[in-house]
Chain A
């Protein structure tokens, strides 16, 4: 299955990346957006998409960030930022909130990453450096629990090292869990290719597909 992918002129900005993720969230989904960059995706979801946002600290139907006069210390998101409540919202305790994830009730989650492997292993909770203080939060539960796991990250680290890799060198968060990878230079679907999970490039931005494959030093499906 060969896909003709024509690259756009420039790589995607962070805003365009968030927009691309938002566009791909199916209408009517229950979704969890991780802290950091994934939070931006909410800005690009349209009312017509009718997406219900879950926050790990016990809420479905989370609304936008609270304006100054709306701030309520009892109403925050996973990043501890004051948020608002939409009609149809519900509150529940932590064990229920994580049962929703683990039990496969969320349609999609969007997470950031240090690395993603060709088979969809995710590394996003620890750099493994000796002096680093690790923090995992709900990342491992989301990674294995949501039906679809979308990751958004830059394709290359600041020093140019690829972050889509043959095998993660950072400590993993979950195995074979990433379904789609959204990066500045391209969008990948991790697909089943003859019984093996492998990335397929579905959009290229600012680089030719052949150049992306060359710089990543990995085999992409259909290339």
Chain B
């Protein structure tokens, strides 16, 4: 069963130096900004970070990179108009980059969570990103062998959790959350709202509580009662619990 942390700082307290941290989010949607801020404050160092991007603007992952706390980043799309902290660190040779096609990133995470030893994928065959990797022709098509990508910790964001740790997401903020929750040894989730067990419709739960270790409530957008009623995962008239646990 999951534990519930009072604060983001408490939620990330167990992240150690040298840890591999899976960070949810695609751009800012689903990015667990407050957990990442807490990780920055915690002083954890020499991190390997897995995220689709390499930080945007002056917040979250970008600041972690700015402070040179990330020794390696594994991502698909580091270069953006506002990735200046990554760009500077990379050009200075102060952060290592493993560039992975986005679908391979998602599937390697999925494989790690699903106990798959490796898989053959057509993505990247014949490109620089498959250089030196084992290949195989299967049924007349060429594939590249890719290995799972697991993490010591996942930091993700969801819309709702219940007391059993079940999660429901909102729109495209779901993105990497479900696969990262399964791929990490220790999964930390920040949610907008915590509901009593039984408030989430079992048919609409996306991440079952079995994947979740720590939940903390951080209101960033304060869903109204009416909005909660409309979310398909929230059963009508379920009683809201306080935001602090």
Contacts and interface: CB of A to CB of B under 8 A. Distances in A.
Q: Do A and B bind each other?
A: yes
Given A76-B27, A136-B99, A136-B102, A172 B129 contact: no
Nearest to B220: A73
Contacts, number: 138
B126 interface: yes
B107 A76 contact: no
A170 to B, nearest CB: 10
Interface string B96-111: 0001111111110110
Interface residues of B, number: 49
A102 B76 contact: no
A102 B179 contact: no
Nearest to A176: B126
B76 A136 contact: yes
Interface residues of A, number: 40
Interface string A121-149: 00000100001011111111100110000
A98 B179 contact: no
Interface in A73-105: 73-76, 80, 85, 91-95, 97-99, 101-102
Interface stretch (B12-20, B62-70, B170-178): B170-178
Contact of A58 (B87, B103, B123, B175): B175
Given A93-B174, A126-B128, A137-B102, A76 B91 contact: no
A58 B79 CA distance: 21
Given A74-B29, A85-B171, A136 B129 contact: yes
A72 B223 CA distance: 12
A93 B175 contact: yes
Contacts of A131: 91
Contacts of B27: 57, 76, 80
B239 interface: no
Given A126-B128, A137-B77, A55 B172 contact: yes
A25 interface: no
A175 B126 contact: yes
Contacts of A172: 126-127
Nearest to B170: A74
Nearest to B75: A135
B26 interface: yes
Contact of B124 (A75, A97, A140): A140
A59 interface: yes
A63 interface: no
B227 to A, nearest CB: 11
Contact of A144 (B110, B125, B128, B173): B125
28 contacts: A57-B29, A72-B171, A73-B29, A73-B221, A80-B27, A80-B29, A91-B171, A91-B172, A93-B176, A93-B179, A94-B175, A94-B176, A95-B109, A95-B178, A97-B106, A98-B107, A126-B128, A133-B87, A134-B79, A135-B80, A135-B99, A136-B99, A136-B129, A137-B76, A138-B76, A138-B102, A174-B126, A175-B125
Chain A to chain B: the 6 pairs with minimum beta-carbon distance, closest first? A98-B103, A141-B103, A80-B27, A94-B106, A135-B79, A95-B110
Given A75-B172, A94-B52, A135-B78, 11 more contacts: A57-B175, A58-B174, A74-B29, A80-B26, A94-B102, A97-B106, A102-B103, A133-B83, A133-B91, A136-B99, A136-B102
Interface of B: 26-30, 52, 76-80, 83, 86-87, 90-91, 99-107, 109-110, 121-129, 169-179, 206, 221
